[in-house]
Amino acid sequence: MYKKELKNLKESMLMRQIRDRKFIKEPIAHKIRINGAELVNFASNDYLGLSSRPELVNAAEASLHLYGFGAGSSRLLSGGTELHAELEEKTAAFKGTEAALLLNSGYTANSSAIPALAGSGDLILSDELNHASIIDGCRLSRAETAIYRHCDTEEIEKFLSSRSSGRKIVVTDSVFSMNGDIAPIDRISKICMHYGALLYIDDAHATGVLGRGRGSLAHFGTAPAEHIIQMGTYSKALGSFGAYIAASKEIITILINKCRGLIFSTALPACAAAASIAALKIVEQEGSLIEKLWLNRQRLFSGIEKLGLSTFNSSSPIIPVKTGNIEQTSAHSKLLFSRGFYAPAIRPPSVSVPRIRLTATASHTEEDIDSLLSTLREIS
Ligand SMILES: *Cc1c(COP(=O)(O)O)cnc(C)c1O
C-alpha cells in the first residue's frame, strides 16, 4: 500500500531513521553511543546536562517509591498528585504568572491548548517557521489561520488592524527550533496589546536557556501580562519530561475545562513532576550553568562564523550550518560522524533549506568544540 511512497523517500534521500543509543557512562548532553561508535553529541536539547544530574534522578526515584509509576487516570479523575500541584505552583512563580497548568508534552500542549483558546470565527496569526505542533494546533482549532512571514511584525500589524470581530491570537516560537533565531517578543507583545490580541509564546527552547532560564519574556525585559500565554517544556533544558502553560487564572481555567490533551489523556507520572521540580531548583540556584552554556555557544558560533559558513541568523545555542544540497549535507554529516561527532543532517520537509543542525550544551568541553571546528574547516 505504501511501497511507492517509501521508494520515493528512499530515492530522494529523505528516508528518516530512528537511531537509538546504547548505554554509556556519559551524560547524553556530552556523548552518545550509536552504531558502535562513541561520539560527541551535538544533537541534544539537554542544554544544561540536567537529565543525568543526581538531584533529578533521586527526586524521581523517591517519588516512585511513594506513588508508583503510572498515574492511572487523567488529571481530572485521580491521576494528579501533590507533586503535580507543587510543580504548577513553582512554575507559575518561576514564570511570574498567576497560574500554570501541566501538560504531558510540548506536542500535546500546542496541539490541544491552541484549539481550546481559539475556534471558528476567531483569527490565529502564526509565524511561517513555527513548530509542527503549533501548525497542528492551528489546524485542529478550526479558527481562520493566517501565516505571516518569519518574524515580520509589519505583517502581524496589517492582519490585526484589518480584523474587528472574534478573538485574535498571535502564536510564535520564541527560539525557532531549526534556525536558532529569536522572535522579537517585546515588539510583538506591544502590537498584540494595542490590537487587543492574545500572544501565545512557545518557549520550548528558551526555558532554562534565555533570561537566566526564565524564558523569552525575561530575556527581553518584558513583564508577564494578562494578554500573554507562555508555553514551555520540561523536556529540553530542564532535562525532564512534560510541558507547562503559564498564564492568567482565567486562561488556565478555560484550559482545564476545554483542553482535550488534558482531559482525555492520562496524567504525567508523578516521577516526571518530581524531576521537573528538582530541575527548576537547579536552574534557579546555579546561574553558572547557563553562563557555561552561553560561553560554549559563543565559542562554537564565532568559530563557525570565522570559517565563513552561514548560520541562518542563529542567536541561541541552536546553530544550523548551511552545507549545500541534500546530498552534500548528508555527506558532511557522515564525515562528522566518522570523525566522532554526532550532528545529523536536517532535510526537507522539516526545513526548506538543508542544514547540519548543531546544538551547544553546558556539558561540552572547549576541546570538543575546537576539534569539531577543525573538522568543519574541511567543509567550508
Ligand atoms: C520540542 C518542541 C516542542 C515539543 O515538545 P515535547 O515536549 O518534546 O513534545 C514544541 N515546540 C517546540 C518549538 C519544540 O522545539
How far apart, in whole angstroms, are the C-alpha atoms of residue 144 and residue 262? 24
User: Where residue 379 falls among pLDDT bands split at 50, 70, 90?
Assistant: confident
- Nearest Cα neighbor of 236 from 184, 306, 173, 309 is 173
Q: What is the mean pLDDT of residues 212-221?
A: 98
Residues contacting 336, CB < 8 A, separation 6+: 342, 343, 356, 372, 375, 376
How far apart, in whole angstroms, are the C-alpha atoms of residue 293 and residue 276? 19
Longest dimension (CA), the chain: 60
Q: Which long-range contacts (CB under 8 A, 24 or more apart) does 116-121 make?
A: 116/254, 116/255, 116/258, 116/259, 116/260, 117/141, 117/167, 117/169, 117/198, 117/200, 117/229, 117/251, 117/254, 117/255, 118/143, 118/167, 118/169, 119/143, 121/165, 121/166
How far apart, in whole angstroms, are the C-alpha atoms of residue 379 and residue 82? 53
pLDDT cut 90: percent of the chain above it? 96
Per-residue pLDDT at 35 exceeds 90: no
- Nearest Cα neighbor of 294 from 176, 182, 208, 201 is 208
Look at ligand 1, atom 3, and give the residue with the nearest C-alpha.
Answer: 106
Q: What is the mean pLDDT of residues 191-205?
A: 98
CA angle 260, 265, 267 (to 5 degrees): 120
* Residue for grid cell 547540519: 356
Q: What is the pLDDT of residue 183?
A: 98
* Residue for grid cell 518530581: 274
Residue ranges of alpha helices (H) inside 144-212 are 153-161, 185-195
* Residue for grid cell 503535580: 84
Q: What is the pLDDT of residue 149?
A: 98
Ligand 1 center to 134 CA (angstroms): 9
Per-residue pLDDT at 333 exceeds 90: yes
Q: What is the pLDDT of residue 227?
A: 98
Look at ligand 1, atom 5, and give the residue with the nearest C-alpha.
Answer: 106
Pocket test for ligand 1, best of 44, 174, 177 (most atoms within 8 A of CB): 177
Residues contacting 214, CB < 8 A, separation 6+: 94, 95, 96, 207
Q: What is the pLDDT of residue 13?
A: 86
Look at ligand 1, atom 10, and give the residue with the nearest C-alpha.
Answer: 106
Pocket test for ligand 1, best of 102, 107, 114, 216 (most atoms within 8 A of CB): 107
Looking at every residue in the chain, the average pLDDT score rounds to 97
Q: What is the pLDDT of residue 221?
A: 98
pTM given for the model? 0.97
Q: What is the mean pLDDT of residues 86-111?
A: 98
Residues in the chain: 380
Span 53-80, pLDDT tens digits: 999 999 999 999 999 999 999 999 999 9
> Residues with beta carbon inside 6 Å of ligand 1?
105-107, 110, 131, 133, 173, 177, 202, 204-205, 233, 235, 243
Per-residue pLDDT at 265 exceeds 90: yes
- State how beta strands 228-233 and 355-359 pair: unpaired
Look at ligand 1, atom 6, and give the residue with the nearest C-alpha.
Answer: 106
Ligand 1 center to 85 CA (angstroms): 22
